[in-house]
Every structure is written in structure tokens, then in C-alpha cells.
Amino acid sequence: MSLLSALTTSILPVLSVAGVGYLLGVFREVDVDPLATITLYVLTPALVFHSLVTTPIARGTAATLFTGVTVFTVVMAGVAEGYGRITGEGPPTLGSLVLTSAFPNAGNYGIPLSAFAFGTIGRSTAVLFIAVQSVLMYTVGVYVASRGQAGSTRDAVTKVFELPLVYAVVAAATVRAAGLVPPADATVMQTLKLTGDSAIPVMLLLLGIQLANTTYGTALSRVTPAVVLKLLVAPVLAVTVAAGIGLGGDVGRVFVLECAMPAAITPLMLTVEFGGDGDELSAAEYVSTAILVTTIGSVLTLTVLISLLQSGSLLW
């Protein structure tokens, strides 16, 4: 696939909806909390459950994907941590660098883009990806964001068990294992599909609104390492991990694409709640700036990456 085709068929549809959200956030005061709550507690669990019970991805491949997400996240966090310590970064910048480098925006950017680029298998793979990443985000991510704050980590990690997403994954796995998946045309499945499908445009609108409401301060020059790690190092590491664990085909390609997404927005919420203030900028300012810069820069990097993945130049 050519770069132009990758841009027009995969990137632009996603950016168009996110752009509407951005303009809405610029010209109207929009409270994103209710939308985020509905997405987190209703729309995304429905999307996850329906996608998992109907996914064409075999159980063995799914287990390999779970391993790949975990390995990628841990290694990426280690690389960012090592770089930050070598260059003398201290809190809260070090934690912000790790969070923005290790956690891609695999949900409200990654799911729609993967669906546009690779169809049904793209959406199913992306859903599996965020199922694992959500657990890592609220364990490893919370630890990184709250280092040095006694007592906060244990309490915060318990939030993972309050997320419906976790129970949607467990319920889907149970239903599939027991052979109790309803027919695709059953009322319950049609309802779940309708509810889950609505998560994708809402996610993109939320992304745009959140970017419009982000304060960037004077941190642009400080986020260069995070941008390089997220947009350039992460895709290379993802290809290496996929090849190393034998994750090929479209599932492997979507895995690489998800890993190459710009910085996730959830770390911003974690740093707002648990992060601190540095000598020059706060953790939230660092993360929000990294989100903006990597999201803009990803238009180019993801266009090139999708073209390479769809042409078969990467993986097998």
C-alpha cells in the first residue's frame, strides 16, 4: 500500500473524527468526565466482551499476544528508565518519561486506526491489546506515577479490580470456554455490538476534546526524549518482540501498530492524581505536552508504518 493510500484510508478517517472533538473542545466548554465514565464503564466493556467472544484469533495466538504486550511494556519502561537515570532526570520528569514511552494510546486512537487498517482482525487484536495494557497501566503505571508517595500505590492498584474491563475479559473467556456464546443474530449479541461499536467514535471525540483542553506550558523542549522513544524506538522494539515470540500475520502487524501509537492519555490522569511538581515543570505538564507532540508526529510515522505493514515489508 502506498503512503497516500495509508494516509487517506486509515489515518485521515481517525483524525477527522478526533478533529471534530478538538474543535468542539476549543469553541465549547465540554465536561469530558461524564463521557469518559460512560465510555469506561459501559461502551468499552461491551466492545471488549463482544470482540472477544466473536474474535477469530485462536487461543494460542491470543496468549502469545498477551505475552508480547507485557514484554514490550516492561522493556520499553526499562529503556526509558535507564535513559532517564543516565541523563540525570529526577522526579517527576523521570516517571513522566517512563509513562509516556511505555504506554501507547492503544484505545481511543489505536482501536479505530487498527480497525480501519486491518478490519475485524485489527479491532479484535487492538481490544486484546488494551485488555492487557489496562492491567499493566493500573499496576506498573500507578507504581511509576506514585513512587515516593507512601501508601498511595497499594490503594491505587486496587482500582484495576474496579474496572468493568477486567470483568468483561473474564466473562468473555468463560463464555467461550464453556461454549455458551450466543448466535451472532441473537438480541443480546446485537445489543452488545451496537453498544460496543459506539465506543469507537466516542473515544475519538474524547481524544480530540482532551487534546484541546491540554495545557502545554514550556515543556516542548523537554519532551524530545519521550517523543523519540515513543515514535521511533517503540516500533523497532515491537517488531523485535513480535519476531522473537513468533507473533506473525495480521495479529503481529496490529501488535506492532498498537505499540507505535502516540503517548496514551491515561498516564496524564495518573500523573494528575499521583505525580508531583519539579523544579521547572510538573509531571502533568510533561505528560500532556508529550501527548500533543507524539499525536501530531504520529501522523507521519504511522502513515509510513501502516504502508510497510500492509505491504508485507515488516514481519511475515
Per-domain residue ranges for the chain?
3-311
pLDDT band at 136 (very low <50, low <70, confident <90, very high): confident
The fold of the 3-311 domain, in CATH, is Na+/H+ antiporter like fold (1.20.1530)
110, 120 contact by CB (below 8 A): no
165, 134 contact by CB (below 8 A): yes
Task: Cell 524506538: give the residue.
Answer: 233
| Dihedral sign (CA 204, 239, 140, 124) | positive
pLDDT at 152 exceeding the cut of 60? no
Q: 282: which strand partners?
A: 277
221: burial class by Cβ within 10 Å (0-12, 13-18, 19+)?
A: exposed
Distance of CA 306 to the CA centre of its chain: 17
Q: Flag whether the pTM goes above 0.85.
A: no
- Average pLDDT of the residues of the chain: 83
Q: Could you give the count of Cα atoms lying within 13 Å of 101 in the half-sphere of its Cβ? A: 29
Residue-wise pLDDT tens digits, 203-259: 788 878 877 876 666 567 788 999 999 999 999 999 999 999 999 889 999 999 999
Return the closest-CA partner of residue 142 out of 169, 161, 164, 170.
161
Q: 104: which strand partners?
A: 263
